[in-house]
């Protein structure tokens, strides 16, 4: 287990090589994306293929906070293929997880956490899910956590005198927004000559947003029995 209360540690074991990432889930946006000119490559500049939904100003944020996170990962995994097998260990303050998987699946699990805690104000809306991160979760588990986290937030909206969104319209809008962010952010990655492990991991991460938005639009009918305990078997994923 991670000995620090805000750290989730990913340990990738590729043969004799071991790559570690300590991800601070207590990361705050304010002041964290300030960097000296030239500290990161040009493709990470905020205004380089800036996402249409990004509310940040390049005057205050020279670099895209999510791109900075991706830059380090891209450098670490140069020369490794998407389907390369590895042993993955994830250590959180309360428990540890271990799995054997391919690289793109392991990166997919980590990239979601990195994006949510990078300081990106859009993906940062997943911050509560990052706090209760579950490594290499299934789609059904991710969907359940996303809906549960959103409805918990609506409870507090109502409790504090606001108008709650019990119909999940805001959640559907957010996941639709992620679709556009995926397309825009992918343009950044295309600028650099890298193997496909990161690109595939990102596709896996954002592809789920398309399905989630569609399921919510349909009222989560397909998952009703599974989420309400009427069935112990999730729909085919």
In a domain, 30, yes or no: yes
142 within a domain of the structure (yes/no): yes
Asked, for residue 77, whether it belongs to a domain, the answer is: yes
pLDDT score of 32: 46
Asked whether residue 1 is assigned to any structural domain, the reply reads no
Helix axes 103-116, 65-76, angle to 10 degrees: 150
Q: What does the pLDDT read at residue 204? A: 77
Structural domain contains residue 47: yes
- From the list 87, 120, 122, the residue with the least C-alpha distance to 103 is 87
Q: How far apart are CA 7 and CA 158, in angstroms?
A: 32
Per-residue pLDDT of the chain (237 residues; tens, 9 = 90+): 655 778 999 999 998 899 999 998 876 544 444 556 668 888 899 999 899 999 999 888 999 999 998 888 888 887 788 888 999 999 998 899 999 999 988 998 898 898 889 889 999 998 888 888 999 888 999 999 999 999 999 999 999 999 999 999 999 999 999 888 888 887 787 777 565 777 777 777 777 888 898 999 999 999 999 999 999 999 976
Q: Which domain holds residue 176?
A: 7-227
Q: What is the pLDDT of residue 13?
A: 95
Question: What predicted TM-score, i.e. pTM, was given to this entire model?
Answer: 0.85
Please report whether residue 136 resides in a domain. Answer: yes
Asked whether residue 232 is assigned to any structural domain, the reply reads: no
Q: Give a three-class secondary structure readout of the chain.
A: CCCCCCEEEEEEEECCEEEEEEEECCCCCCCCCCCCCCCCCHHHECCCCCCCCCCCCCCCCCECHHHHHHHHHHHHCCCCCCCCEEEEEEECCCCEEEEEEEHHHHHHHHHHHHHHCCCCCCHHHHHHHHHCCCCCCCHHHHHHHHHHHHHHHHHHHHHCCCCCCCCCHHHHHHHHHHHHHHHHHHHHHHCCCCCCHHHHHHHHHHHHHHHHHHHHHCCCHHHHHHHCCCCCCCCCC
pLDDT reported for residue 193 = 58
Number of domains making up the chain? 1
At residue 150, the pLDDT reads 96
Residue 234 resides in a domain: no
């Amino acid at each position: 287990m991670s000995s620090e209360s805000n750290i989730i540690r990913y340990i990738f074991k590729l043969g004799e090589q071991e790559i570690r990432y300590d991800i601070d889930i207590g990361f705050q946006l304010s002041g964290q994306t300030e960097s000296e000119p030239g500290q990161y490559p040009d493709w990470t500049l905020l205004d380089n293929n800036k996402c249409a939904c990004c509310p940040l100003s390049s005057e205050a944020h020279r670099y895209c906070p999510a791109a900075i996170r991706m830059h380090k990962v891209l450098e670490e995994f140069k020369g490794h293929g998407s389907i390369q097998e590895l042993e993955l260990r994830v250590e959180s303050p309360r428990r540890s997880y271990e799995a054997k998987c391919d690289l793109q699946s392991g990166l997919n699990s980590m990239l979601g956490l990195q994006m949510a805690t990078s300081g990106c104000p859009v993906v940062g809306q997943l911050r509560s899910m990052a706090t209760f991160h579950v490594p290499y979760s299934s789609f059904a588990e991710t969907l359940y956590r996303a809906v549960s986290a959103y409805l918990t937030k609506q409870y507090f909206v109502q409790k504090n005198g606001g108008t709650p969104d019990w119909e999940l319209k805001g959640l559907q809008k957010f996941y639709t927004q992620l679709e556009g962010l995926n397309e825009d952010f992918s343009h950044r990655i295309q600028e650099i000559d890298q193997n496909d492990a990161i690109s595939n991991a990102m596709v896996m991460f954002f592809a789920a947003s398309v399905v989630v938005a569609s399921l919510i639009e349909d009222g989560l009918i397909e998952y009703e029995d599974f989420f309400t305990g009427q069935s112990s078997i999730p729909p085919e994923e």
